[in-house]
Amino acid sequence: EVQLVESGGGLVQAGGSLRLSCAASGFTFDDYAIGWFRQAPGKEREGVSCIFSSDGSTYYADSVKGRFTISSDNAKNMVYLQMNSLKPEDTAVYLCAADWESRIAAPTDPYEYDYWGQGTQVIVSS
């Protein structure tokens, strides 16, 4: 059974940093793409970043380029999202998602992913 568990969310002031973690289990990590998404109240789910575990290729939404960094530790089946220079508009529930790399044509499109975690809340105060 595929399981994804996020952690690391919290309350931070604008300009601050947070590091989110996604613990994955139940699948062969090296074959999967892991994505970070976010959803603010009343808004659609938005792709933030993605990493292909096989070769470390990364993808970012324009809104977070230069501020967020995705990384993975394949030995631990972990994916991280380092978020720097946070803005109030980054406030959302952040979720990680996974699916076979071969099935992912648009890495930051949430509809490409079948497996989801429950999410972790990030609140950025102004």
For the chain (126 residues), the mean pLDDT of every run of 10, in chain order, is 96 98 90 96 96 93 97 94 98 96 90 96 97
Alpha-carbon torsion (23, 115, 93, 110), positive or negative: positive
Q: Give the per-residue pLDDT at 29.
A: 81
Q: Give the per-residue pLDDT at 27.
A: 85
Alpha-carbon torsion (93, 41, 37, 84), positive or negative: negative
**Judging by beta carbons within 10 Å of its beta carbon (0-12, 13-18, 19+), is residue 123 exposed, middle or buried?**
middle
CA 65/CA 59 separation, integer angstroms: 9
Decide the pairing of beta strands 78-83 and 68-73.
antiparallel
